């Protein structure tokens, strides 16, 4: 019952975050000549150039990434991403009909809008959801590279490269001011997200202390295609046990938490890793 309540609460938080993001985009950013980043930014560019409904553009751009994310990251992630994207697109439609005007300078409005957007996205990411295809795309590329090379990669450079292409398109297809304002949105929003998610795009080290490591190691290998470092350890009360160390990305944390939860008596911590040297 506690697990079900936790899942319902996470879905509610994803919905709140999606509404915050859609409010920021429609009521603050777009009226002040700025756009969102990632796939939402691509959708806004298409909307401005073609006149197609914004919600429809967002859905068309995000659906392929949603399908890929569900296949690669699992059904649980797919359901949460679907909930977030549905609430986000509905929110865009609703807020487009609500008159709202922020009587302040464009610079301050964009900073305020970027902060609301970042807070909304941080809530979504902390709850295990996602409403931006660029994060799914970066995760898939990083996962494929890790599977091929056996090394762990950060999503940082993939996300920066993806969004650099988006802002270059804004600069060339819309105007210079929109590109600069949108870049400010990215800086503010990602600063908020990194503060609350402890740099979600970075590599995460999961340390697990358990007396029965075999089932956990097997599940991590089967479900995440990851390996673990296993060390002997000793607890002052628990006595002899094993310490497992595994490196994953942010979107794989949900899976590894579920694996740990199925093995009673295991104790784990998660920390952010800036770089792994080999």
The vertex-186 CA angle with 252 and 59, nearest 5°, equals 65
Q: Tokens 């941080």, residue?
A: 122
pLDDT in tens, 195-219: 888 878 788 899 999 988 888 999 9
Residue 258: domain span: 203-273
pLDDT at 151 over 80: no
pLDDT band (50, 70, 90) for residue 277: low
Q: Are 58 and 184 in the same domain?
A: yes
Residues 6+ apart with CB under 8 A from 67: none
pLDDT score at 1: 54
Q: Supply the pTM of this predicted model.
A: 0.84
* 44, two tokens: 């806004």
> pLDDT averaged over the chain?
86
Q: Tell me if 121 sits within 8 A of 201, measured CB to CB.
A: no
* C-alpha closest to that of 38 among 163, 136, 170: 163
DSSP, res 29: I
- Total structural domains within the chain: 2
pLDDT score at 23: 94
* 171 vs 142 pLDDT, higher one: 171
Q: Are 163 and 44 in the same domain?
A: yes
pLDDT in tens, 92-150: 999 988 888 777 788 888 999 999 999 999 999 888 888 888 888 888 887 777 777 76
pLDDT score at 238: 75
278 lies in a domain? no
Q: Tell me if 208 sits within 8 A of 268, measured CB to CB.
A: yes
Q: Are 74 and 173 in the same domain?
A: yes
Q: Are 156 and 213 in the same domain?
A: no
pLDDT in tens, 234-244: 887 778 888 99
CATH label of the domain that carries residue 238: 3.30.70.120
């Amino acid at each position: 019952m506690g697990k079900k309540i936790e899942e319902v609460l996470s879905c509610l938080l994803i919905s709140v975050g999606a509404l915050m993001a859609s409010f920021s985009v429609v009521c603050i950013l777009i009226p002040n000549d700025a756009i969102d980043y990632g796939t939402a930014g691509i959708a806004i560019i298409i909307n401005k150039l073609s006149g197609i409904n914004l919600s429809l553009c967002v859905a068309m751009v995000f659906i392929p990434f949603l399908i890929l994310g569900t296949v690669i990251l699992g059904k649980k992630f797919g359901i949460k991403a679907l909930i977030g994207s549905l609430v986000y697109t509905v929110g865009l439609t609703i807020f487009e009909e609500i008159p709202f005007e922020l009587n302040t300078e464009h610079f301050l409005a964009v900073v305020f809008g970027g902060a609301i957007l970042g807070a909304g996205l941080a809530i979504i990411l902390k709850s295990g959801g996602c409403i931006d295809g660029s994060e799914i795309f970066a995760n898939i590329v990083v996962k494929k590279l890790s599977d091929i090379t056996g090394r762990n990669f950060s999503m940082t450079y993939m996300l920066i490269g993806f969004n650099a292409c988006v802002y270059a398109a804004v600069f060339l297809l819309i105007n210079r001011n929109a590109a600069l304002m949108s870049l400010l949105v990215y800086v503010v929003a990602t600063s908020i997200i990194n503060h609350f998610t402890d740099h979600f795009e970075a590599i995460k080290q999961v340390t697990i202390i358990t007396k029965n490591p075999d089932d956990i190691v097997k599940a991590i290998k089967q479900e995440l295609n990851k390996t673990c470092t296993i060390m002997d350890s000793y607890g002052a009360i628990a006595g002899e046990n094993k310490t497992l160390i595994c490196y994953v990305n942010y979107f794989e944390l949900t899976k590894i938490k579920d694996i740990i939860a199925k093995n009673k008596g295991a104790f784990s911590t998660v920390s952010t890793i800036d770089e792994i040297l080999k």
